[in-house]
Structure 1
Amino acid sequence: MSRIHCERCLRPQAHCLCPLIPSLGSRTRVLLLQHPSEVRHALNTAKLAALGLRNAQLRVGEVFEDLPELLEAPGYRSALLFPGDEALPLEAYADGQDDRPWQLVVPDGTWRKASKLLHLNPLLGGLPRVTLAQVLPSRYRLRKAPQPGALSTLEAVVQALNVLEAPQGFDALLKPFEALIEGQIAAMGRETYERNHLR
């Protein structure tokens, strides 16, 4: 007999995260493009970002046929939030600059899958690329980062919004993420966690 799942956060009903998910407004729009392999991932952080931000949209797929319309969001200027040599560091919104807020386009998947999304959707490569000038350490204690400074999708979105919209903060988005991680640590047992993840 399968467990009943929450239709909103997709977690088993007994572990529903909805009470921890905020409903935050933001000047910045966030467009999350999720690789299908991430949808059923236990730590679906793009889903948490979309649920916690009122100005966010989550799309799942490999090829996004309506990408031109998505990128032409009226009142916004689109940029790809993804590291790279040509990526410019994000800065707080300032008076006198282009007063249109960003639409941050965020590919969600492993590095390989996110890179595949960029390859399969060439329009993404034509966007200005932005990144975080300073990356705070990841709170994702259950995985080995593929490279220094690697973040989950949710953490990258939170850090980007904290920079762009300072002094407004978006750390409340991390509460369900941290609860998920604590729940997984509890399920595996603290001793197993310490043996396998604290080296």
Structure 2
Amino acid sequence: MSRAQCPRCSRPSERCLCALIPNLPSRTRVLILQHPSEVKHALNTARLAALGLSNAELLIGEVFESLAALLQQPSHHACLLFPGEQAQPLVQFAEQRNELPLLLVVPDGTWRKARKLLYLNPLLAALPRVALPEGLQSRYRLRKAPVPGAISTIEAIVAALNTVEAPACFDELLKPFEVLIDGQIEAMGEHTYQRNHGKQDASS
């Protein structure tokens, strides 16, 4: 028999995170495009980010039919948060277009799945790409980073908003994320956690 789940945060009812999820306004519009494989992941940080931001939207799928209408809003400058040689620093992109707020498009999935989203949605691949500052450290203690500097979706969104909307701070968005991580560590047991992840923590 499956455990009852909170319909809002999708966590088991006894571990509901809703009381910790803020409702933060932002000038930047955040559009999260989540690959379906991430929906039932225990650490679904994209959902937490969408719930905690009043100016955010979460879409789930591989092909997004509504993308053209969402991207062609004259009130925003759209950009894709995706690292690589073609990406320019986010702060530089924002400073050049400070007369209008940004529409920050954030793919959510493994690197392979995120690239697939770009391949299946040419409008995404055509967007100007932006990247976060180097050297960011993830608090995601349960998953090894695939590349140096890799962070979770919610951490990337917080870092992006802190960058372009300073002095406003969006760190409050990370509170339910940190409790979620602590709960997962507690559930697996300290011994198992240290065996699988302790060395990673010591080296970070």
TM-score by length of 1: 0.96
Percent of matched pairs sharing the same residue: 66
* Amino acid of the structure 2 residue aligned with 1:7: P
State the partner residue of 2:17: 17
Instruction: Summarize deviations over 1:43-66 as a string: whole Å, max 9, x none.
Output: 101100100000000000000011
State the partner residue of 1:41: 41
> How much does 1:10 deviate?
0.6
> How much does 1:41 deviate?
0.5
Instruction: Summarize deviations over 1:27-76 as a string: whole Å, max 9, x none.
Output: 00000000001001001011001000000000000000111001113410
5+ residue gaps, structure 1, are none
State the partner residue of 2:159: 159
Q: How many residues align?
A: 198
Distance, in Å, in 2 between the alignment partners of 1:85 and 1:42 is 32
Matched, 1:115 2:115: yes
Q: What are the residue-to-residue correspondences of 1:37-186 with 2, within 5 Å?
A: 37-91=37-91, 97-186=97-186
Distance, in Å, in 1 between the alignment partners of 2:69 and 2:190 is 47
Match of 1:48, SS state, is helix
Distance, in Å, in 2 between the alignment partners of 1:18 and 1:163 is 26
Distance, in Å, in 2 between the alignment partners of 1:53 and 1:61 is 21
* Amino acid of the structure 1 residue aligned with 2:116: K
Structure ranking higher in helix proportion: 2
Distance, in Å, in 2 between the alignment partners of 1:124 and 1:22 is 29
Distance, in Å, in 1 between the alignment partners of 2:102 and 2:183 is 34
* Amino acid of the structure 1 residue aligned with 2:162: N
Query: Structure 1 residues 97, 116: closer, same or farther in 2, change over 3 A?
Result: closer
Query: Structure 1 residues 192, 107: closer, same or farther in 2, change over 3 A?
Result: same
Distance, in Å, in 1 between the alignment partners of 2:184 and 2:167 is 32
Query: Structure 1 residues 132, 56: closer, same or farther in 2, change over 3 A?
Result: same
Distance, in Å, in 1 between the alignment partners of 2:42 and 2:97 is 40
State the partner residue of 2:193: 193
State the partner residue of 2:202: none
> How much does 1:136 deviate?
1.8
State the partner residue of 2:28: 28
Distance, in Å, in 1 between the alignment partners of 2:98 and 2:198 is 45
Instruction: Summarize deviations over 1:83-113 as a string: whole Å, max 9, x none.
Output: 010101011755x854111100000001110
State the partner residue of 2:3: 3
Which stretches of structure 1, 4 residues or longer, exceed 4 Å deviation after superposition? none
CA root-mean-square deviation: 1.3
